[in-house]
Structure 1
């Protein structure tokens, strides 16, 4: 399955019998015929087993291996690219090789060059230089590309195979091939299983994929491999740019096949932003292959909350909380002692609550009195009694300095001075600007800085007021999307602020609203934050196009294509038209590796006309 630069890859560790080539071949055929993938990886020497030993030196056994490999190629109904690990006699040397097969043809033979001591009796290259110099060998009556560093190319896919211990060299071919544009490595392995070796294998795959900025696909021998000397786990691991896509084990999970989705849009996006991108060459002698394009794509899994990088959400929240405290600590420490106060407008909503709680913890860590935290409630006729109550409970709960300054009179005077009597966008923004003006003046009066509550989602959608809540002296929430803000509040309610658990829990569950009009609900205006955050993440991080969102959003959120199109159109219109607000964003910490601040993140002129 291959569509819009998404590639489905299968990792297989089927049952194996030592030396029983017909059985092993049939297992391979069955696996391939049941696969939905476009690329399938098998372990090293999966046709014969690792322990055929002296049989590797029998010409009849080597001939039978070729015969069974040919049978696999002819009998399988699989149309994509797959590997066969087997022994092959080349120039009077028995080599451990991988046949790379596509569309019923062997398109390349990759040889293993790093032979461990226990295999040297069987895979002994008598003339290393002669073998290394070979570019073609004859196989099945055809000339076939040969080598340890072949690169297979189809459109944006640049693939190489790295066998077993070759991946552990000081300078492996995978590292060198990155300079040729390789973005996916298949590693058919012969790694055995020992105490802690599973973690070591996983870390090696993750580290390699991160360092080389590519997809790394790993398969170790089946648990049905010979246990004469070792035990094998049948590990199947896939990682992209240091992120685990999925893993499974034949031994521990009782699985012998795993399918994963590789997003080449994400890999290419990361390559384009890498400082090493300019040293990649694309003028090479690739082995070309073809993959049939799918009309649709069946995803294994679409994460509806991609900003969370861990299954343990509270663990992620704890880490982010520590980063926010560290950021604000540094900001306040840079100020003279008499200015180390914090002024925050507290509405009783999620964003101002997060800002308030981070500020309270920061002041405590710094040994400063909680009265240095000035929480300001600025209700209007549009504020609900519940919001005002929650704001008061929060400020009193953290023992901050509480100020309550209603804005209705100021608002009335201001609107009258500009001869405005409509409850429209001017009316709404005037409230936000009056509140910001009050906060700035209070910061001057008391000696401190205004901490802004605007979160990453609001900044992306432009759901802030220019010269209003968009502006502050430090935007503590500017790197946190709304879905993460709400998760942070649930974490605080459960783990940190037990005495304030009830009110914080309430805030986390209330529908977000700026309360600039009575009964206003944010998501009725801009749509679900969860879907908007999904679009935001993959637009910036993965480089997804509108066409990809049209494919993924209905599948991820179980909505119609028409609903998805509305979300996409609305998001991008708001995103581009509100870039002018992001040009003047205050300083704020990038804690998720994701920023819309033009100084350290997404940059675009405010007068762009992208979606006009």
Structure 2
């Protein structure tokens, strides 16, 4: 028996193209001698469909697409993720489901049992959990068909399982001989290597059955799916793994499995790949061809531009330098050099005259008052207006360049440098931005060395540096990770060896700037806890932990 794992990149709601792709992979699998081809969770609709699931016509279109896919399965069987209607007179209207298709007929439908409602997941909002769990029969085997979260609840692997029931244990008790898990599991740095793969190998070894895991790939909104679909033997050994961050079709001979080489990546390589894929898919799936970026000569805009050029091609990236009287000549030269290294077109539009006009207009209102953050933010908002004007006129997607560290503490300007269509680095801490820069420069200098070595500065007033108001980024990022990703309290962070005054100041800034983050452009998730849908804090609250 040969089983193909079809790791595909779908677009939410694009039923025609999703169906065409699924049928194409069915034919490819058949041509490679596969008896069965398995697709990811919600392959028909794309993942995550969110509130589209509340629209009846969306569900109907998904079922029509499944009918078309079913007709494509001549001479081969398939397991396809889709949305099924709940036929019971109670509960949510739909199920997250897998259709088991044989000989152009749906022979069984398997519903997802465990519905995650944490981090970026909100599935219990929409789906009814499975009422029954059972294996599917195929070529003398009992296939334990499960869907994503169903496999994330083993009581031996997890210190505290989230659910009372374990669907995999139930399938094994019904004599399942192969465990199949169709998934849409988003990327986070080191998640696959340290959590997902060890969990999958543990289950295979525990139950002494082969395990086939099929994950989707590509980007949808802020989520990137890394693929890494896996075949694991009954001893818990990884025998094959599909490409990371790429579409792939992997055929496994279940009787005579061949050990295939598995490519390993460093954490920063995976983050780099995730950002490249996330930007490419967000741009294309939203209908944009070109992006525009404000270039300051600093590290953040340099890394953003380098990622964009690699993701989209240099011809599709436009850099805009908007110097003021506070911009250093070296910063202008660094931005020009970066553009030349990347072979991207760039424009220089000075904001000095516009800023002076603003100051003159506001002079009567600000009479006798010193230059402060008001004038600093004016410059950021002038730049935003210019770059948004270019976006409107030419149809560019604006990429903001702020990083997670700045967004966390509010070191950014609302309606200024925060304005744009995608915040590419919004889940990348500043220290990781430097890691990305070094990785981008691994073969030759692309990002100017001066952009990497000079002290970070917004250059909104004379002799301004980030560390005037922030601790070093090594300290800041460690505290932010402890507070945001690890949910440690102030006392625990202080016990890590940090100065109490610094800790309290940082946490105060994080808490008071939730209103800014609520208005930020969407960003690509790469850490275990990103701002946005994965971290839902009230804007107004008085709790300090």
The normalised TM-score by structure 1 is 0.46
Count of residues in correspondence between the two structures: 301
| Greater CA drift, 321-330 or 420-429 | 420-429
Aligned residue runs from structure 1 range 220-299, under 5 A: none
- Report if the CA contact (8 A) 1:513-1:522 is conserved: yes
| Residues 1:569 and 1:361: Cα distance change in structure 2 (over 3 Å) | same
RMSD: 3.1
2:410 is the alignment partner of 1:477 = no
Counterpart among 527, 532, 545 of residue 489 in structure 2: 545
| Residues 1:494 and 1:547: Cα distance change in structure 2 (over 3 Å) | same
2:514 is the alignment partner of 1:579 = yes
State the distance in 2 between where 1:609 and 1:176 align.
Answer: 33
2:401 is the alignment partner of 1:468 = no
CA offsets 1:240-270 (integer angstroms, 9 cap, x no match): xxxxxxxxxxxxxxxxxxxxxxxxxxxxxxx
Gap regions ≥5 residues in structure 2: 1-152, 165-191, 203-263
| Residues 1:205 and 1:549: Cα distance change in structure 2 (over 3 Å) | closer
2:148 is the alignment partner of 1:174 = no
CA offsets 1:447-488 (integer angstroms, 9 cap, x no match): 211100011000101000011112211111111000000111
Structure 2 residue matching 1:348: 3-state secondary structure: coil
Counterpart among 437, 446, 455 of residue 500 in structure 1: 446
State the distance in 2 between where 1:176 and 1:436 align.
Answer: 47
Aligned residue runs from structure 1 range 10-29, under 5 A: none
Structure 2 residue matching 1:343: 3-state secondary structure: strand
State the distance in 2 between where 1:322 and 1:204 align.
Answer: 15
State the match for 2:535 in structure 1: 602
State the distance in 1 between where 2:194 and 2:467 align.
Answer: 41
- Report if the CA contact (8 A) 1:493-1:500 is conserved: yes
| Residues 1:205 and 1:455: Cα distance change in structure 2 (over 3 Å) | closer
- Report if the CA contact (8 A) 2:424-2:524 is conserved: yes
State the distance in 2 between where 1:394 and 1:574 align.
Answer: 33
TM-superposed CA distance for 1:425, in Å, is 0.7
- Report if the CA contact (8 A) 2:485-2:528 is conserved: no
State the match for 2:361 in structure 1: 417
State the distance in 2 between where 1:178 and 1:466 align.
Answer: 40
State the distance in 2 between where 1:437 and 1:179 align.
Answer: 50
Which structure 1 residue ranges, 4+ long, deviate > 4 Å from structure 2? 175-182, 203-213
State the distance in 2 between where 1:204 and 1:477 align.
Answer: 23
State the distance in 2 between where 1:316 and 1:441 align.
Answer: 37
| Residues 1:385 and 1:611: Cα distance change in structure 2 (over 3 Å) | farther
State the distance in 2 between where 1:432 and 1:536 align.
Answer: 25
| Residues 1:402 and 1:207: Cα distance change in structure 2 (over 3 Å) | closer
Structure 2 residue matching 1:374: 3-state secondary structure: strand
- Report if the CA contact (8 A) 2:456-2:466 is conserved: yes
TM-superposed CA distance for 1:415, in Å, is 2.1
State the distance in 2 between where 1:571 and 1:409 align.
Answer: 36
Aligned residue runs from structure 1 range 360-371, under 5 A: 360-364=309-313, 370-371=314-315
| Residues 1:172 and 1:481: Cα distance change in structure 2 (over 3 Å) | closer
State the match for 2:126 in structure 1: none
CA offsets 1:165-209 (integer angstroms, 9 cap, x no match): xxxxxx997369856999xxxxxxxxxxxxxxxxxxxx9997798
Structure 2 residue matching 1:451: 3-state secondary structure: strand
2:359 is the alignment partner of 1:376 = no
Counterpart among 268, 272, 280 of residue 317 in structure 1: 268
Structure 2 residue matching 1:526: 3-state secondary structure: coil
| Residues 1:177 and 1:357: Cα distance change in structure 2 (over 3 Å) | closer
- Report if the CA contact (8 A) 1:450-1:472 is conserved: yes
Counterpart among 448, 460, 467 of residue 523 in structure 1: 467
State the distance in 1 between where 2:266 and 2:518 align.
Answer: 33
The normalised TM-score by structure 2 is 0.51
State the distance in 1 between where 2:354 and 2:442 align.
Answer: 39
2:393 is the alignment partner of 1:458 = no
State the match for 2:279 in structure 1: 328
State the match for 1:345 in structure 2: 294
| Residues 1:532 and 1:371: Cα distance change in structure 2 (over 3 Å) | same
State the distance in 1 between where 2:396 and 2:496 align.
Answer: 46
